[in-house]
A and B are shown apart, each in its own frame.
Chain A
Amino acid sequence: MNEETKNTVDIDEALYRPIYETGKSFYFAVGFLLFIIGFTLVVYIRQVYYGLGVTGMNQPVTWGFYIVNFVFFVGISHAGTLISAILRLSKAEWRRPITRMAEVITAIVLAIGGLHPIIDLGRPDRVLNIFTAGRLQSPLLWDVTSITAYFTASTVYLYLPMIPDIAKLRDRGGKMVWFYEFLSWGWHGTEHQKKVLSRAINILMVMVIPIAISVHTVISYIFSMTLQPGWHSTIFGPYFVVGAIFSGIAALMIVMISFRKYFHLENYLKLVHFRHLGTLLLIMSLLWFYFTFSEYLTGVFGAEPHEMDVIFYKFTGTYAIFFWGMVVCNFLIPVVILAFKKFKTIPGILIASISVVIGMWLERLNIVIPSLANPRMGLDMGMYTPSFTEWTLFIGGLAVFVLGFLVFSKFFPIISIWEIEEGRKESVKEVEKRVTSYLPDPANSVE
């Protein structure tokens, strides 16, 4: 172990501890999650065997939970890479303990979300048709392309900033040194290597922002490119992007609060981090309300009969409880909690975040189902009730997410150690220099 590593071990031992110490609760949690995932797999195999008849989907509602969850999970993935890239780009110094967790969320959730359209296929083998007979003119294929690009970019963006930390684990010795040596790519922290890494991260963070925005815009196109009432809207692209960032920040804060509590990271994830992210969540809540209001006002003002059928289905009909539940969860609860400093405590922020995640899931439900349940072409109004299979696959998806995070935390630090070190060494000076550069020059002010 070299001298520099030894020193950091003393200061940042709490960040290494989850990797080297494994409590009984970890094994219990992993076992429980594996049981859920195993059960989900059995239920899915049953669906493949019997066909989509085991789900609640039927005419006219042919898209149900799977597509709702697809949009929801891909939305959550915006927590990571996009927020991390924006915070890095804007040189927000408080980002340092947050970015790694945000990036991990993206990689795991995107993999889960991306699988949902395949789960939605009665014959999953037919997904291979996109290789031989896909139509690049279809928004569905735009999705495949943009999600693949986003997943690749996010994985690279997660991996590259992890290299110095992986090298630290390699230098510490202990279990699986060969694994860390393989992943560290010969990092020794020389000036040249630092320069190469910094240049690569800079290019990636600029590149990843348009990719992330394109992904959720393209997902909205699946709906808005059709002439379906409630879907055919030019606002859907930005509306989906705003919703994705909104739900992403909320999910990120739930993860941060959980790991803070579970791994005792109070010294790294302080109230100030949650307050800053809470302010961002509040802004996104207001933006979300603005988009929702604009979307429905345009529909109501136009009063096109088929459009009104969908709107009444949401406002006063079968989906009223989900629609108004969405408004309460996405607007009322977070705004009340986050607008007042008194409520902006960690428990308060946790409540607001959980509320937003539930609200955004309801929003996806409100977008997908009501438009299909009110067909225009000689079909009766439909009612969609998810079956046991769909609920199980949803819970299974959440279990994969938690398991993915737990396994990640067992092999890698969930807070970027080298960035924290860099912050300690350079941030104060750098911020001071930056602030000084904003201020008017004393000589000129006298003049």
Chain B
Amino acid sequence: MKTINNELRDKIIFAAQLVSISLIWLLVIGIIFWISNLIYLSVDLKDSPGISIGISLVAIPVFITLASILTYVFVGFHREKKKHLNTDSGN
């Protein structure tokens, strides 16, 4: 019974972790949409669109890189966690 509870607990925690990592991507996607909207506005109003595009070229990759680093760590840790658990159960 305890094992089942532990398994369920692990699954819930993993799901919560997945949600948390998804939130950073949600933030990045939100920022990309926001900046794209501002670029569209500046093009529409013919109000220095070059500057808006220039800033977006710097800002968007920064957010994407940050989210990618977090995802890289998350995936890297969990792949190893699985191996670790398999080794433990094998023993």
**Number of chain A interface residues as a range:** 35 or more
Given known A-B contacts A137-B52, A207-B65, A211-B62, A188 and B73 have beta carbons under 8 A apart: no
Return the contact of A192 from the options B52, B72, B80 (Cβ within 8 A).
B80
B22 within 8 A of A: no
CB atoms of B38 and A187 under 8 A apart: no
**A431 vs chain B, min Cβ distance (A):** 28
A322 within 8 A of B: no
A142 within 8 A of B: yes
Q: Please, what's the 1-or-0 string for A22-42, where 1 marks a CB less than 8 Å from any CB in chain B? A: 000000000000000000000
Bound complex: CA A207 to CA B47 (Å):
31
A193 within 8 A of B: yes
Return the contact of B72 from the options A146, A186, A188, A200 (Cβ within 8 A).
A200
Bound complex: CA A153 to CA B76 (Å):
19
Main secondary structure of the interface of A (DSSP, over half): helix
Given known A-B contacts A131-B34, A186-B81, A156 and B76 have beta carbons under 8 A apart: no
Bound complex: CA A207 to CA B76 (Å):
20
CB nearest to B52 among chain A residues: A136
Bound complex: CA A146 to CA B76 (Å):
29
CB atoms of A182 and B17 under 8 A apart: yes
CB nearest to A132 among chain B residues: B37
CB atoms of B80 and A188 under 8 A apart: yes
- Near B by CB (< 8 A), chain A positions 192-239 give 192-193, 196-197, 199-200, 203-204, 207, 211
- Near A by CB (< 8 A), chain B positions 49-81 give 51-52, 55-56, 59, 62-63, 65-66, 69-70, 72-74, 76-81
In the complex, what residues of B have CB within 8 A of residue A196's CB? 72-73, 76-77, 80
CB atoms of A153 and B66 under 8 A apart: yes
A181 within 8 A of B: yes
CB nearest to A134 among chain B residues: B38
Bound complex: CA A149 to CA B60 (Å):
9
**A180 vs chain B, min Cβ distance (A):** 10
B48 within 8 A of A: yes
**A295 vs chain B, min Cβ distance (A):** 27
A133 within 8 A of B: yes
CB atoms of A135 and B41 under 8 A apart: yes
A385 within 8 A of B: no
A178 within 8 A of B: yes
Given known A-B contacts A182-B16, A188-B80, A136 and B55 have beta carbons under 8 A apart: yes
Return the contact of B80 from the options A133, A136, A186 (Cβ within 8 A).
A186
CB nearest to A148 among chain B residues: B31
A383 within 8 A of B: no
Bound complex: CA A181 to CA B66 (Å):
23
**B58 vs chain A, min Cβ distance (A):** 8
5 residue pairs A–B, Cβ–Cβ below 8 Å: A136-B51, A149-B66, A187-B81, A196-B72, A211-B62
Residues of chain A whose beta carbon lies under 8 Å from any beta carbon of chain B: 131-137, 141-142, 145-146, 148-149, 152-153, 156, 160, 163, 178, 181-182, 185-188, 190, 192-193, 196-197, 199-200, 203-204, 207, 211
Residues of chain B whose beta carbon lies under 8 Å from any beta carbon of chain A: 9, 13, 16-17, 20, 24, 27, 31, 34-35, 37-39, 41-42, 47-48, 51-52, 55-56, 59, 62-63, 65-66, 69-70, 72-74, 76-81, 83-84
9 A-B pairs closest in CB distance: A186-B81, A196-B76, A136-B52, A136-B38, A185-B77, A137-B48, A192-B80, A200-B73, A188-B84
